[in-house]
Structure 1
């Protein structure tokens, strides 16, 4: 798959050779210590990459590294997953961004590129997001994208520390995409190239 390109961000397919850059990006904020997501450390990056690439080989995951174009620097990771081509739906998730780039344009531009690809290239009718109910920053960021909260899925997964995680589910559907797209473009102050 070709990279998804915006003015400031490039989402390019994840590769095994990204291990060192991912650990360096995650080290900005020691994100592997967060209790509500899975971010690779030097000890876990091998498994992290293998899991993502196995999903890609199975056709259910499209993992990307987030690259800051001005510096050609890997600053995070994200993916399409739970890809269901028959029902034309998928989830955007497993997203993390180096601490210094959080609450900047990075997440909004990356999500815009992914949503545009999902709805306009993959012809999705539904894109969903799921986050830990204790991750208030993520919940607010998803709402700011224009997604609608659907509910809480109890004990949706078991976290690496053994905690049973309740997850909040959000979605954007195809009928909503034109308005969401327009708001995101206004927020970003540009129209991304086609």
Structure 2
């Protein structure tokens, strides 16, 4: 991973989804996607709603300008519709590592091939283009769906970080940390490719 200050957020294209750079003009599309399930009411993650979307985007773009964040919207290629968001963050060029996080999908797209392919595109870029040695994931200890999804990708659970952050409602959140390291990536990639091939074929 070279100097992150010179990195630009790429567009990553698969068969089902395209991940393109998040922009301020995506506010309405993000709120529409989050309205599928009223995801802004979830207590175990932070998803933008009508009152918070501008601040949500501003923070992501501030991180992008600082070279520590690459924020994306997730677009369903068949319809051109924004169905969620994700990002690289905690970009650390010295130690060639980053975190994939702030990921959410419209309720109707969860547990679908869209999520699997989005993670595949992100991991491929992280390991094969940015030459990362470590990609980590962090989720709420209470978020069983997210924990299961991260394990299905092939990440390894490392432990619980107590009181890792304070949630918007004031709750002191314990977070579960997972990672994939470079030595594990070939096997993880092969498993994800097999899962995607089976889903796309069907």
Per the TM superposition, whether the score is higher than 0.5 is yes
CA RMSD of aligned residues (A): 0.7
> What is aligned with 2:92?
84
Q: TM-score, normalised by structure 1?
A: 0.97
Gaps of 5+ in 2: 1-8
Q: Say yes or no: does 1:114 pair with 2:122.
A: yes
| Partner Cα separation in structure 1 for residue 121 and residue 74 of structure 2 | 11
| Partner Cα separation in structure 2 for residue 2 and residue 48 of structure 1 | 20
Q: TM-score, normalised by structure 2?
A: 0.93
Look up the SS of the partner of 2:111 in the other structure: coil
Question: Following TM superposition, by how much is the alpha carbon of 1:177 offset from its aligned partner in structure 2, in angstroms?
Answer: 0.2
| Partner Cα separation in structure 1 for residue 112 and residue 91 of structure 2 | 28
| Partner Cα separation in structure 1 for residue 83 and residue 48 of structure 2 | 13
> What is aligned with 2:5?
none
Q: Say yes or no: does 1:187 pair with 2:195.
A: yes
Question: Following TM superposition, by how much is the alpha carbon of 1:2 offset from its aligned partner in structure 2, in angstroms?
Answer: 2.9
| Partner Cα separation in structure 2 for residue 97 and residue 104 of structure 1 | 10
> What is aligned with 2:35?
27
Aligned residue pairs, count: 190
Look up the SS of the partner of 2:189 in the other structure: helix
Q: Which runs of 4+ in 1 moved over 3 A?
A: none
Question: Following TM superposition, by how much is the alpha carbon of 1:106 offset from its aligned partner in structure 2, in angstroms?
Answer: 1.1
| Partner Cα separation in structure 2 for residue 8 and residue 147 of structure 1 | 22
